[in-house]
Amino acid sequence: MPNSFHHADHAFGELRPLEREGLAIFSRRNMLKAGLAGIGALSVPELLRLRADAAQQGRSIGNKSVILLWMTGGPSHIDTWDPKPHRPFMNRGPFSPISTAMPGTIICEHLPKQAAMLDKFTLIRSVDPKKSSHQPNQVIQTGHRDAAPRVNPKGDRYPAIASICAKFRGANHPSMPPYVAFMKHRSHVAWGGYLGREFDPFIGNKAAILPELDLLGKPLNRTTGADVFRLPLGLDVDRLQNRRSLMTDLDRIRSGLDQNGSMDALDQYGQQAFDMMLGRRAQQAFDLSREPENSRQRYGDHLWCQQTLLARRLVEAGVSFVTLDLSYHTASGTWDNHGIPGGVYGGISKGLKPLLPTFDHLLTTLVTDLEERGLLDDVLIIGMGEFGRTPNMGTQKSLDGRNHWPVVMSMCLAGGGLRHGQVIGASDNIGGTISQRPVTPGDLAATIYRHMGVPLDATYLDDRGRPRFIVQENGQPLPELF
């Protein structure tokens, strides 16, 4: 795995505050590093500035957001959203289909809640996941075919769609991070890449108290701690205020020499970033104890369900992109249902079947909750993994497992103010290839950017200073949805 996966797992490592560069008033970077390191490196002035720039340029960014339910490992399309009930058992699998709220559309019997409200969803049965793999899971999450570190030495440099949204749009509230991820392993999500580590996700696991599960999903009867909001030993609010005052004094010295006034602007964003660290908004959003008991019971005690509730709380508080890594396992992911004898993933019956009721519940509860709160038109919900699985079962000496299949996959969408109650595309009669309306990773990225108000012709610079377009393969927003 490339060394880049081992950088500091917070969004502000790019500042590198521990490097010895000294303090020189002619170096604005040094001034920033000294000041920001002094308040614990939990600052986002650059993100705040970028958001203000977007507003100044007249781009309407509203309160749109995305919740990505990432089914880590690659769920079987045939055994979820694209059943083949008339095929032989080795192809169709062990599950039966059920009718849905969309006449003529069937899905897996273990998704009954989604079936009952499928008119609020869009199913895409023709996603082309070519070149997508896992560990790391980046092609689909970046919208870029070359984001495959296993075969491309620079594959990890392509920024996440969420990171692009963070750069060109920012959060919906200045006291909240724009991109939050709850992850089981860092190879399960995409990062800032060429954009810089300041556009990496804020890791929500470190900010919330959540139940801990083992690699098979069994409770460990303990919880994580909200460590990120705990000040280091010996560092209290008064000392932070003193450091902030020192930082302000230093900025004033430097601003006297600054010819373009950028340090004056930085004062504004630095203050907002400081308020984010000491303010209560982010801490309260991550604190599930503040959620009414009936709401917590509605979502349930399962880790994934509590993370989903947190996702709703976070977008409500101003986060613009939340990714949930739905996996127990730190390796390739719990949805990697090979069914290899002696393995940890299980096949379709023993591996996939136990996951579907939990996913069905968290997905439909989230949609219903957002709708009741009047937020569903602003929040785009996406459920998908990195690829589909083989048409026939029994791979790798298993009885009912399915191998990786980066040829065709299915996914679902809800909310976002889009047109739902439809199926886009189709696979062939065995679920082996795309037969109608191919949808590329570039199309998915463009669809998300359109929802989020990110210009589709935007570019960023790579490590050689060359501009790269954020949308690849001539990707276009899916017209069926708009």
pLDDT tens-digit series, residues 257-296: 454 444 444 454 455 555 555 458 888 999 999 999 999 9
Neighbours of 375 (CB within 10 A): 16
Quote the pLDDT of residue 343: 74
Please say which residue of 247, 263, 285 terminates a domain.
285
Given a cut of 80, is residue 98 above it in pLDDT? yes
Q: Which of 273, 270, 263 shows the shortest CA–CA distance to 25?
A: 263
pLDDT tens-digit series, residues 176-194: 999 999 999 999 999 999 9
Given a cut of 80, is residue 106 above it in pLDDT? yes
Residue 146: inside a domain? yes
Quote the pLDDT of residue 395: 85
Quote the pLDDT of residue 431: 98
Residue 190: inside a domain? yes
* Same domain flag for 88 and 49: no
* Same domain flag for 262 and 211: no
Place of tokens 């795995």: 1
Phi, psi (rounded to 5 degrees) for 383: -120, 120
* Same domain flag for 186 and 311: yes
Given a cut of 70, is residue 116 above it in pLDDT? yes
Return the higher-pLDDT residue of 198 and 246: 198
* Same domain flag for 77 and 210: yes
Q: CA-CA-CA-CA torsion for 218, 74, 66, 283, nearest 10 degrees?
A: 30
In degrees, rounded to 5, the angle at the alpha carbon of residue 115 between the alpha carbons of residues 113 and 116 is 65
Residue 244: inside a domain? yes
Residue 99: inside a domain? yes
Residue 9: inside a domain? no
Residue 13: inside a domain? no
d(CA 12, CA 195): 12
Q: Is 307 helix (H, G, I), strand (E, B) or coil?
A: helix
Mean pLDDT calculated for residue range 203-208:
91
Q: Where does 373-481 have alpha helices with state H?
A: 441-452
Return the higher-pLDDT residue of 303 and 41: 303
Per-residue pLDDT band for 401 (boundaries 50, 70, 90) equals: very high
Given a cut of 90, is residue 50 above it in pLDDT? no
Residue 182: inside a domain? yes
Place of tokens 């500035």: 49
Return the higher-pLDDT residue of 438 and 49: 438
Helix (H) or strand (E) holding 148: none
Given a cut of 80, is residue 68 above it in pLDDT? yes
* Same domain flag for 43 and 122: no
Mean pLDDT calculated for residue range 122-145:
96
Per-residue pLDDT band for 457 (boundaries 50, 70, 90) equals: very high
* Same domain flag for 144 and 50: no
Per-residue pLDDT band for 206 (boundaries 50, 70, 90) equals: confident
Quote the pLDDT of residue 24: 37
* Cα first-last separation, the chain: 39
Given a cut of 80, is residue 344 above it in pLDDT? no
Given a cut of 70, is residue 298 above it in pLDDT? yes
Q: Mean pLDDT score of the chain, rounded to an integer?
A: 84
Given a cut of 80, is residue 143 above it in pLDDT? yes
* Same domain flag for 212 and 256: no
Name the residue type at position 25: I
* Same domain flag for 39 and 159: no
Per-residue pLDDT band for 397 (boundaries 50, 70, 90) equals: confident
Query: How do 434-436 and 426-427 pair as beta strands?
Result: antiparallel
Residue 10: inside a domain? no
Domain that holds residue 191: 61-226+288-481
Return the higher-pLDDT residue of 56 and 452: 452
Cis peptide before 438 (omega within 30 of 0): no
Q: What percent of the chain is predicted at pLDDT more than 70?
A: 76
Mean pLDDT calculated for residue range 158-180:
95
Mean pLDDT calculated for residue range 11-24:
40
Given a cut of 50, is residue 445 above it in pLDDT? yes
pLDDT tens-digit series, residues 232-268: 555 555 555 555 555 555 555 455 545 444 444 445 4
Given a cut of 70, is residue 14 above it in pLDDT? no
Mean pLDDT calculated for residue range 414-432:
98
Per-residue pLDDT band for 27 (boundaries 50, 70, 90) equals: very low
Q: Lowest mean pLDDT: which of 172-181, 371-380, 401-410? A: 172-181
Quote the pLDDT of residue 150: 87
The whole model's pTM is what?
0.83
Please say which residue of 285, 311, 326 terminates a domain.
285
d(CA 409, CA 419): 21
Per-residue pLDDT band for 40 (boundaries 50, 70, 90) equals: very low
* Same domain flag for 240 and 375: no
Quote the pLDDT of residue 428: 98
Quote the pLDDT of residue 351: 95
Quote the pLDDT of residue 340: 87
Q: Which two tokens stand for residue 184?
A: 């089981």
Q: Which of 170, 172, 179, 177 shows the shortest CA–CA distance to 141?
A: 179
* Same domain flag for 206 and 337: yes
Please tell me the total count of domains within the chain: 2
* Same domain flag for 321 and 346: yes
* Same domain flag for 351 and 239: no
Q: What percent of the chain is predicted at pLDDT more than 90?
A: 69
Per-residue pLDDT band for 33 (boundaries 50, 70, 90) equals: very low
CATH code of 309's domain: 3.40.720.10
Per-residue buried b or exposed e for 351-370, using 16+ beta carbons within 10 Å of the residue's own CB: bbbebbebbbbbbbbbbebb
